[in-house]
Structure 1
Amino acid sequence: MSFSDLAQELTLRKQQSLYRQRSVLASPQQPEVVLDGKPFLAFCSNDYLGLANHPDVVDALQRAANEFGVGGGASHLVNGHSHHHHALEEALAEFTGRPRVLLFSTGYMANLGVVNALLDKRDAVFQDRLNHASLLDAGLLSGARFQRYQHNDVAQLAARLARSDARRKLVVTDGVFSMDGDVAPLPALCHAAQEAQAWVMVDDAHGFGCLGQSGGGVAEHFQLTEEQVPVLVGTLGKGFGTAGAFVAGSEVLIETLIQFARTYIYTTSMPPAVAAATCKSLELLQKESWRREHLNALIERFRAGAQQLGFTLMDSQTPIQPIVVGDADKALKMSEQLKAQGIYISAIRPPTVPAGSARLRVTLSAAHTEAQVDRLLAALESVR
């Protein structure tokens, strides 16, 4: 069997400036990194609070690794559920204000597991058109009637909910949209769902740590209850600076996932040391509010400077600050020009974003300084 047709598709992707390539990181996650042997000032990490390389988090991981080793060894339902996992679930439940939390190995697996545990062909799922790929895949794989509504269009969602006679109806949205940086209009979405007796599931991967007075994400930001947002998903590899994911909700929801979520049942637990490290990062996330304050100041500084330079920014008050270029080839060339100046920002192109909306996805971190943001602005001016 020949792979010649696959080779042709790869060649076409290169010609369209859509080919993806990996760089090799030779340093911790921090503003100044070494990629492919060269130093860069990076603005493309999701380590929003600068916790991925925090010495206390690293120390917690090392101590737990000395105690428990590295691998989880088995699934949570066999003998892979350590007391570090259990302690993290209890801490996250208190943090989110939900009765229970369930850990997953990745955010992708959490989303697949939840939607497929709750829905089947008798049901309907309603998703924002710009939802993360994991949410869209989860909806398609569930067998439920899959409907997408225009980005943040509550009226269109309400109309589609009203026409549905499905057994169960699930409204699914990102809390903060990963490529645009804007926040879902959750109060209005929740009201529309309640009117139609539908559940709401929010993937707040990019909101936790950044939004809310204590970093509790969009639910805290909008002061939404468990009744309004019964299914709350978060990832640990962004604001928390570690790895894995969790689902927060009621006793019934969590027990349902333990019984029916295949991506939970049939996979090895995350390393216990990662859970221990996350307990420490959760503590820092809540205690060190200066991280959010500094991050918000950097966001304002960047937006003011970029607008002064004539760049059109998207409606985002989060660390995700996309500069939409449009053409994929142009975005790629701008990224390469910035790399030549020692600034690393990835060019995000289709199919990650819609055709014609290729962009430089600038992400800011509490670990950045004002001087580093000013250096970024100066480099952007030179490639404008």
Structure 2
Amino acid sequence: MARAALGWIPQELEALEARGLRRSLETLAPLQGPVVEVGGRRLVNLCSNDYLGLAADPRLRRAAAEGAERAGAGAGASRLVAGDLPVHRALEARLAAWKGTEGALLFNSGYHANAGVPPALVGRDDAIFADVLNHASIVDGCLLSRARLLRYRHGDVQELSDLLSRTRARRRLVVTDAVFSMDGDAAPLREIAALCDRHGAMLYVDEAHSAGLLGPTGAGLAEALGVADRVDVHMGTLGKALGAFGAYVAGARPLVDLLVSRARTFVFTTALPPAACAAALAGLEVVAAEPARRAHVLALTERAKAGLSRLGFDTSRVVAPILPVVLGSEARALAASAALRERGYFVRAIRPPTVPRGTSRLRVALSAAHDEAQVDGLLAALAEILPGLPPAE
């Protein structure tokens, strides 16, 4: 029985339900992969960020088990107390080499990194310039910094230029996703880097949805566009294309040293468990050794883009295996998700506040573990269900 002080919560849950905004958890079994079991049914999994199909790869699972056997189930403490283990240092060195930077620092999640790094770099006398569609974790980190937050229209380089020209601040930090998680499109990093050079601003790029996928070595969008050396803060995650768990920030050695002292989400948390670090190291080896994985998932992305275009959806700006099927209302997105499930496809409805109101959608995420038949099957199922969805509001 809930305490009386929590008596307002059931009514709040009812209101969320009525607006189509209540969330629920669904357990997948037995493993993450292209086909999963949900509620006793086998479904094609099209909403995971496991872009290279590594989350259940036997090599990563073996590495995780060996890492735990060698160094224990948990790190036991913050890295600054008694939790700094050799596997942390090994992974950071490997990440820095991959990103072409002087150093790297592990964080326990992408949210930890994005919430902790901006407050370590800027404060009340400073200004942050952020794309309006940046991930929620970036927004929270910007707010925690207490710096003045100036948000520019999505991908609008001219507005960013105007804001940088007009704003007087001690320090300036431009923050953007590389690939935007709900739209699959890319930030104009070349133009943004040029603006940062011109105005003496720091550039922070979140490569969570491009690291492992884009660029000659899979290091991300900045590598693909040839501007990696003009990015001051490279942030990325280990739990998407790399198949493990955690996150990192890579950059110059002074940056890393400052974060060790100032990033509260690093300082005040128990370090990543050895198993996660060992799995990430194995994932990095696969990325280096098997470029065909990213070539395959990017080819599937082009196939899906063409099919969605034929169905009337605009995917022209998509550069990564994230395909937005924008349906408008929460009711349409929920109905589409349910109808696809009946046909054997697991695609969750994405609703506000994750996306702007009026743009509820299906977020189709592809993996190197998928095949052409699964993509074609989804497209055929979408074509079948679209006419029967609730009318657009």
Question: Shorter-chain TM-score category?
Answer: over 0.9
How many angstroms apart in 2 are the aligned matches of 1:254 and 1:247?
8
Tell me the SS of whatever aligns to 1:103: strand
- Mapped to 1, the partners of 2:5 and 2:123 lie a distance apart of 37
Is 2:331 the counterpart of 1:358?
no
Q: Name the counterpart of 1:242.
A: 244
Secondary structure of 1:182's counterpart equals coil
TM-score by length of 1: 0.98
Is the CA contact 2:129–2:173 (under 8 Å) kept in the aligned structure 1? yes
Q: 2:24 aligns with which of 6, 21, 26?
A: 21
Q: Does 1:147 align with 2:150?
A: yes
In structure 1, distance between residues paired with 2:11 and 2:149:
32
The 8 Å contact of residues 230 and 249 in structure 1, kept in 2 or not, is answered as yes
Match of 1:66 among 53, 64, 69: 69
Choose from 335, 338, 350 the match for 1:336: 338
Paired residue secondary structure (2:212): coil
Contact 1:314 1:321 in 2 (8 A): no
Which amino acid is 1:215 matched to? G
Q: Counterpart in 1 of 2:262?
A: 260
RMSD of Structure 2 on Structure 1 (CA): 1.1
1:7 correspondence with 2:10: yes
- What is residue 296 of structure 2 aligned with on the other side? 294
Alignment of 1:1-384 (within 5 A): 1-226=4-229, 228-313=230-315, 315-384=317-386
Q: Deviations over 1:132-173 (max 9, x none)?
A: 000001111111011100001111111111111110000000
* Cα pair 1:179 1:353 within 8 Å, conserved: yes
Contact 2:176 2:187 in 1 (8 A): yes
Determine if contact 2:305/2:316 at 8 Å carries over to the other structure. no
Counterpart contact for 1:72–1:269, Cα < 8 Å: yes
1:317 Cα offset (Å): 2.2
Total equivalences in the alignment: 383
CA shift for structure 1 position 209 = 0.8
Q: 1:331 is aligned with what amino acid?
A: A
Distance in 1 (CA, whole Å) between partners of 2:233 and 2:313 is 37
- 1:277 Cα deviation after fit: 1.2
TM-score, normalised by the number of residues in structure 2: 0.95
Paired AA for residue 326 in structure 1: G
Q: Which amino acid aligns with 1:149?
A: Y
Structure 2 counterpart of 1:51, one-letter code: L
Identity %: 47
**1:260-287 deviation per Cα after TM superposition (whole angstroms, max 9, x unaligned):** 1111011001111211111111010111
Q: Give the aligned residue type for 2:125.
A: R
Q: How far apart are the structure 1 equivalents of 2:313 and 2:122?
A: 43
Q: Cα deviation per residue 1:106-150 (whole Å; 9 max; x = unaligned)?
A: 111111111011111011111000000000011111110111000
* CA distance, structure 1, for counterparts of residue 236 and residue 258 of structure 2: 18
Instruction: Using the TM superposition, give the Cα deviation of residue 314 of structure 1 relative to its aligned residue in structure 2, in angstroms.
Output: 5.3
Cα shift at 1:339: 0.7
Pick which of 72-81 and 142-151 moved more: 72-81
| C-alpha displacement of 1:36 | 2.5
Letter in 2 for 1:110: A
CA distance in 1, matches of 2:204, 2:94: 21
Alpha-carbon displacement from aligned partner over 1:206-264 (angstroms, at most 9, x marks no partner): 000111111010111111143x1011100011010100000000011000000111110
Provide the residue aligned with 2:389 in structure 1: none
SS at match of 1:371: helix
Q: In structure 2, what is the Cα distance between the partners aligned to 1:383 and 1:225? A: 43
**Separation of aligned partners in 2, 1:309 and 1:258:** 50
